Amino acid sequence: MPFCTIVEFEWTGTFGREQFANMIERAGPVDEMPAGCVSRIVGVDDTGARVIEVWRSGADAQAFAEQTAPALAEIQMPPPSRVTGFDTTAYWAAPTG
């Protein structure tokens, strides 16, 4: 069964939309999904940003986190305000094409 991650960031005086956009850019090409990632939803509002991802497995999510950690540390990104991951009990997606 797929694994879901939810990561939330709150805007601060030193971390806002521009820094978040930089982080997304450094995480990899936006037109390519990381290995094992089934879907990704990214949204921002006046208070912060949310990233919701569905992975084939928790191991795939962990591998991506480890792969991107050096780039995120390099830009001195603050820690997320919330991180959670869980095995899904159901996952539906509309067919593409």
List, for residues 44-77, the tens digit of each pLDDT value: 999 999 999 999 999 999 999 998 888 778 877 7
Looking up residue 69, the CATH number of its domain turns out to be: 3.30.70
This prediction's pTM = 0.86
Q: How far apart are CA 37 and CA 57, in angstroms?
A: 9
Q: Tokens 């990214």 correspond to what residue?
A: 42
Tokens 């990233």 — which residue?
A: 51
What is the residue whose two structure tokens read 């986190």?
65
> Which pLDDT band, with edges at 50, 70 and 90, does 79 fall under?
confident
Band (pLDDT 50/70/90 cuts) for residue 3 is: very high
Q: 28: how many CB neighbours lie within 10 A of its CB? A: 15
Task: Report the pLDDT value the prediction gives residue 95, as an integer from 0 to 100.
Answer: 85
Domain membership of residue 71 (yes or no) is yes
Inside any domain, residue 8: no
| Count of structural domains, the chain | 1
φ, ψ for residue 39, nearest 5 deg: -155, 155
* Residue 6 within a domain: no
Q: Does 10 map to a domain?
A: no
